[in-house]
Amino acid sequence: MRERVAALENRATAVQTTPPMAREHKPGDHNLELYGFIQLDAIQDFKRVNPNWDATLRPSRIPTVGGQFGSDGQSIFSVRQSRLGAKATGMLAGKPYEAKFEFDLFGVGKDEGQTTIRIRHAYVSWGPLLAGQTNSLFMDGDLFPNTIDYWGPAGMVFLRNPQLRWTFVNRNGWKAAVALEHPGNDIDTGNLRTIDPDLASSIQNDEKVPDATAQVRYEGKWGHVQLSGILRRVGYDSAGTDNNEPKGHKTGWGVNLGSSFNVSLATLRLGAVYGRGIASYMNDGGMDLAPNVAVIPVPPSLILVPSAEAVKLFGMTSYIDFNWSKQWTSSIGYSFDKVDNTNFQNASAFHKGQYASVNLLWHPAEGVFTGGEFLWGKRTDNDGNVGTDARFQYSVHWDFSSKNIWSLFD
């Protein structure tokens, strides 16, 4: 009896504890990281570019008329490259997933020239499926060299695009995927204003169907090789006219071949792209659709019959990145893109852009670097006028990361 009473007294005075809740996931199943970097670019421009784009060197923004943007020689300090992102990865229903939201501060479009939020990535992938905005399948991101200039080589495909993607092969170094991507047509009305100013001002892009892209890639320790393609409808119509005439479309297409090769301390990056109506996917310069005119002699005069043409374009990039040691790296190379202007584009229409750079960077610690880069660019217009620019950029870069936030609760 005494033993039973003692047991009851011990139960009454014992500290009551709540059993631990069952974990919602196993350690390592889910990862969440906040990451980014701070970067200051101090630029001395020896000439002058469009002031809305003075924080980077784009050949298409170089003037071909002296004094168009003011006198030569500008000093620019910019933090627009600074970046912030969040990435979640793990396993869900037996398949790997990844969700990413990332932005920098380099305003474009209506915000060009501003230090403001610009979405880079906003997507989720689960197994072979991806939905959201990320690198176009037509693009080879591994061609982008270790430059500190923001925009980079003019002659490579570079576009982050909203898309639906299916990767149907992903094994033994091979990857193959197809996607439907957001269409965005750049239309040049050229000299149509000389025929009908109202008509020229009413023509606009017409994007009835998504762009179709595809990619095949093989990757190994030696580097990679990638072949990608695009097929698109480049359309146009007229706002405020009867039945929106004139209207129509041309077929745009392109092939992009890229590769990288790891040789001792160097990585060689080579790429070439060719097609029609693909300028909006390029890193810089050109138009997708432009007017072409047939001249029909009808004595005593001539009749001009305009039509639309998907503009031909060729681009090339060639860069070498050097890892001299754990603390010192360099990058040197050249890139260009060239369009075959139609016979009714303006004299000042973009014809060719050239870009070259060389740098030396010091990496005193992981995620930290500083160094200088010399850049040169050249623009050639349809009528042969040229403009050049040269600049020196010094940058300070500092990465940060939370690592895996969920590990704090494991």
Work out the mean pLDDT of the chain and round it to a whole number.
91
Q: What is the mean pLDDT of residues 102-119?
A: 96
Residue 6 lies in a domain: no
- Residue 279 contacts residue 286 (beta carbons within 8 Å): yes
Q: Give the rounded percent of residues in the chain with a pLDDT score beyond 90.
A: 81
Rg (CA), the chain: 27
Structure tokens at 139: 């693009």
pLDDT tier, 152 (very low <50, low <70, confident <90, very high otherwise) = very high
Of the pLDDT bands very low, low, confident and very high (cuts 50, 70, 90), residue 193 is confident
Q: Pairing state of beta strands 223-238 and 248-263?
A: antiparallel
The mean pLDDT of 172-180, rounded to a whole number, is 98
Domain-located, residue 335:
yes
Question: Averaged over 193-197, what is the pLDDT?
Answer: 82
Average pLDDT over residues 204-212: 95
Phi, then psi, of 27 in degrees rounded to 5: -55, 130
Q: Is the pLDDT of residue 265 over 90?
A: yes
CB 273 within 8 A of CB 317: no
Residue 88: name the closest of 128, 131, 34, 136 by CA.
Answer: 34
Asked whether the beta carbons of 112 and 54 are under 8 A apart, the reply is: no
pLDDT in tens, 42-92: 999 999 999 999 999 999 999 999 899 999 999 999 999 999 999 999 999
Is 59 a domain residue? yes
Domain CATH number, residue 92: 2.40.160.10
Structural domain harbouring 348: 30-409
Task: Judge whether 184 and 207 are in contact, CB under 8 Å.
Answer: yes
Q: How large is the average pLDDT for residues 273-288?
A: 97
Whether residue 19 lies inside any domain: the answer is no
DSSP, collapsed to helix, strand or coil, labels residue 244 as: helix
- Using DSSP, state whether 192 is helix, strand or coil: helix
CA-to-CA distance for 14 and 153, rounded, in angstroms? 72
Q: Alpha-carbon distance 404 to 30, whole Å? A: 9
| φ/ψ bin of 198: left (φ > 0), alpha (ψ from -120 to 50), beta (otherwise) | alpha
Whether 3 is in a domain gets the answer: no
pLDDT for 290-341, tens place per residue?
A: 999 887 777 777 677 788 999 999 999 999 999 999 999 999 999 999 999 9
398 occurs within a structural domain: yes
Burial class (CB in 10 A: 0-12, 13-18, 19+), 171: exposed
Mean pLDDT in residue range 239-259: 93
Residues 6+ apart with CB under 8 A from 23: none
Q: Compute the average pLDDT of residues 236-259.
A: 93
Are 82 and 38 a contacting pair, CB within 8 Å? yes
User: Into how many domains does the chain fold?
Assistant: 1
Is residue 55, in this structure, part of any structural domain at all?
Answer: yes
The 10s digit of each residue's pLDDT in 7-40 is 444 444 333 333 443 444 454 588 999 999 999 9
- Does this model's pTM top 0.75? yes
In order of 136, 159, 223, 232, 314, the CA distances from 140 in angstroms are: 8, 10, 13, 19, 16
Is 391's pLDDT higher than 90? yes
